[in-house]
Structure 1
Amino acid sequence: MTRSLCLFDSNRAWGGGEQWFHTHALLLARRGWRVCAVTNAPSELGERLSSEPSIPLLRLPLGNLSFLNPAVLRRLGGFFRHNAVDTVILALPSDVKAGGLAAKLAGVRRIVFRRGIALPTRNTFLNRLYFQHVLTNLLCNSEHTRRMVLAENPDLIPLERTAVVHNGLDLPAFDALSTEPLVPRTPGRVVIGCAGRLTEQKGHVYLLKASALLRQRGLDVTVLLAGAGELERDLRARTTALGLDQNVRFLGFVKEMKRFYASIDILALPSLWEGFGYVLTEAMSMGLPVAAFDTSNIPEVVVHGETGLLSPVRDAEALTADLELLVRDPDLRHRMGAAGRRRVEERFTLERTILDLERLLLS
């Protein structure tokens, strides 16, 4: 059986899914796979992979209707055949339509949709057609994501053709990175950090409300926000309206994430939903406790009362109470942080998850 794989992700922005595709492109190539990739033009993932000469790369302007463009399908099919692709892994629903159809026409043996966002798949005729007659496998990054994909139609794809492989953290590589704080520390001052695109999904408004409530309770903490996005102007305006300009710092897109974690004492993740959330395992590996909403896959990663505290989704008061408990109790932060590190070592290392992925690809 050949070990030829194409990773196909047309998302222009950089996020957890793109991190997964980039990491696995490099890792599988090192493990003896013939790896090629398809990305959008332009895209951050394409930029990063363009510096890898051992990974053939096709960059195309791709959109939701690209599957209707015969020229695009010919380019994709020719790329698959030229690289003797045996398996293609697709990132987005639009990739399923264009990349999946082109792979099917090119005779690719295994066509996998890797779903990384915990949202339902609509039970439409076109989705049923692709899931039942184009895709050979559904790969999810959490049990919750798998349940959500099948929520509107449990028969969308046979369960035996689905699998869950959690996102893995390359712990040795991560541990080797610099721990110099990105933002200089002030002795005795507790810092809460949140990392994620500034979008509605990430729930920053609830963290801002919680920060204002913490101030009302006499806790003058610093909040660092790592990320960029379309809500930045609105979130800055809310910060000013809440009187938090001296407490909240917007750092923009951060590449050196370990240095960000080294700048904080608590990771807050008020996301309304997640697919997996790399920031959870990264922060836990740094010995940081987590305060998050009890939603989607987050309870699969964070154990409430052991590695962090989980509160009802959209409940700013409950989130405030959890943050207050962590801010006031450094021993609790240390115990939960240490437990989080152990959980990452036991469950979420790349060394473990790559073996799970290879078993699926070679089955």
Structure 2
Amino acid sequence: MNILFINSIGKDKFGGGEKWMVNAASSLSARDHNVMLASKKNSRILQYAEKKGVKTYVIEIHSDISPFKTFQISRWLNKNKIDILICNLNKDVRVAGLAAKIAGTPVVLARHGMLLCSKKWKHKLTLTKLTDGIITNSNTIQKTYAGYGWFPTDFVKVIYNGIVIPEDVEQVDFQARFPGKKIIYSAGRLSEQKGFNYLIEAAQILRKKRNDLVFFVSGEGKLASILQKQVDDAGLRESFVFEGFAGDIFPYLKGCDLFVLASLFEGMPNVVMEAMAMAKPVVATDVNGARELMQDGKTGLIVPPSDPESMASAILGIIDDTLLLEEMGALGKQRVAQHFSMENMSENLEKHLREMLRGKKPSNDKRLEKKETVPSSPGQHAAKNIL
């Protein structure tokens, strides 16, 4: 199959959805498909994809409607005989999805790592007219979309995220920097969605009871200065640290004592999966996918969103129980290995894509075979500026 992933997220943004696309592209490439990933020039997702050996292209989509860009993409899709286009953002569907329909691309899919579709007419029009289906990562999102009454049965397909558990991770030595302290780690964009303001409030509650906890956050974003001011005003400068962006958080996860997710909404939170893969217990808010990924009380604790008191109480309830932390971490790692492996995700994704393409093409189409002749393409480690 000739597959193009397109993701027009801001060039400095990189989160779970972007990591999923790169991992999906890489795993499908390993299964002998011709896979490409397109995004904005010099974007983090393209840089990450190139490191993973994924073929990359530059496609700039800046608005919901762009007739000339749609025309350009349509010509390129046709020239490269793309079988399947997988779009990330709604504007990707509107511009590239329309281009695919013009080009006669057999299958167009939207990938929703969180609730990207609300009950608005433009979402209904976009997704029912320009795509053949939606891939999501949690049953809660599927059920929400089913409630809209727009989509046929099986239009929304749940494929759980997968993860490669890295070997030989060298953990960050937090004790060298914070001797005698217990490290509560979190990571994500510094945006309202991630709920770091509530995590700061939880830290403030706990600081009144003890002084041996350090909250350490990897991430950057538009709320950086606002959140830092909240930390300073709360007198937490020494015990709540914003470290900035980290391309690889596994060393931090391995070195911490507990991971906390404070998000207000998510899809299937990759960062929780990564924490569990590093055998760390998790305190997470009750967002989409959390209960499908975690086992409350076994691999960690689930608390209500926007509730710093509950979050502080959950942290306090387990942070001093070394045996419980180890048990929760071990069960979490085991759960990820059994149910959320990259191999499982790749197999389920490939099967779904084949089924979608089989429904659009004659059964003797050679592009459904495992090995295929692929069109000429640029080197795997340099993005080609095409559009």
Q: Give me the TM-score of the superposition, normalised by structure 1.
A: 0.92
Alignment of 1:20-59 (within 5 A): 20-49=20-49, 55=55, 57-59=56-58
Give me the whole-angstrom Cα distance separating, in 2, the residues matched to 1:295 and 1:51: 31
Contact 1:192 1:267 in 2 (8 A): yes
* Cα distance, 1:50 vs structure 2: 5.2
Aligned match for 2:157, one of 150, 155, 163: 163
- Structure 1 residues 121-153: Cα deviation after superposition (integer angstroms, max 9, x where no partner): 2330x33233222211111011122233445x2
Contact 1:111 1:136 in 2 (8 A): yes
Contact 1:272 1:295 in 2 (8 A): yes
Asked whether 1:63 is paired with 2:62, we answer: yes
Greater CA drift, 265-274 or 12-21: 12-21
Secondary structure of the 1:20 match is helix
1:93 equivalent in structure 2: 90
Contact 1:206 1:270 in 2 (8 A): yes
Equivalent residues, number: 353
Secondary structure of the 1:262 match is helix
2:171 equivalent in structure 1: 179
Contact 2:133 2:156 in 1 (8 A): yes
Aligned match for 1:304, one of 274, 296, 300: 296
Secondary structure of the 1:159 match is coil
2:196 equivalent in structure 1: 204
Secondary structure of the 1:234 match is helix
Give me the whole-angstrom Cα distance separating, in 1, the residues matched to 2:176 and 2:323: 22
- Structure 1 residues 70-106: Cα deviation after superposition (integer angstroms, max 9, x where no partner): 3211221122112211011111111110111001111
Greater CA drift, 175-184 or 262-271: 175-184
1:278–1:54: structure 2 CA closer, same or farther, 3 Å change rule? closer
2:140 equivalent in structure 1: 144
Secondary structure of the 2:255 match is coil
Give me the whole-angstrom Cα distance separating, in 2, the residues matched to 1:8 and 1:242: 42
Greater CA drift, 21-30 or 335-344: 21-30
1:158–1:270: structure 2 CA closer, same or farther, 3 Å change rule? same
Contact 1:121 1:150 in 2 (8 A): no
1:338–1:159: structure 2 CA closer, same or farther, 3 Å change rule? same
Consecutive unaligned residues in structure 2, runs of 5 or more? 356-387
Give me the whole-angstrom Cα distance separating, in 2, the residues matched to 1:319 and 1:261: 19
* Cα distance, 1:362 vs structure 2: 0.4
1:294–1:93: structure 2 CA closer, same or farther, 3 Å change rule? same
Give me the whole-angstrom Cα distance separating, in 2, the residues matched to 1:334 and 1:320: 20
Alignment of 1:204-353 (within 5 A): 204-353=196-345
CA RMSD across the alignment: 1.9
1:73–1:179: structure 2 CA closer, same or farther, 3 Å change rule? same
2:129 equivalent in structure 1: 133
2:374 equivalent in structure 1: none
Greater CA drift, 353-362 or 113-122: 113-122
Contact 2:22 2:54 in 1 (8 A): no
1:191–1:272: structure 2 CA closer, same or farther, 3 Å change rule? same
- Structure 1 residues 234-292: Cα deviation after superposition (integer angstroms, max 9, x where no partner): 11001011110110111100012111112310001010111111111111111111011
Contact 1:183 1:260 in 2 (8 A): no
Contact 1:121 1:148 in 2 (8 A): no
* Cα distance, 1:334 vs structure 2: 1.0
Secondary structure of the 2:319 match is helix
1:95–1:183: structure 2 CA closer, same or farther, 3 Å change rule? farther
Aligned match for 1:9, one of 7, 10, 16: 7
Greater CA drift, 132-141 or 265-274: 132-141
1:119–1:107: structure 2 CA closer, same or farther, 3 Å change rule? closer
1:221–1:53: structure 2 CA closer, same or farther, 3 Å change rule? closer
1:103 equivalent in structure 2: 100
Give me the whole-angstrom Cα distance separating, in 2, the residues matched to 1:118 and 1:288: 27
Percent identity over the alignment? 28
Q: Give me the TM-score of the superposition, normalised by structure 2.
A: 0.86
1:82 equivalent in structure 2: 79
1:333–1:358: structure 2 CA closer, same or farther, 3 Å change rule? same
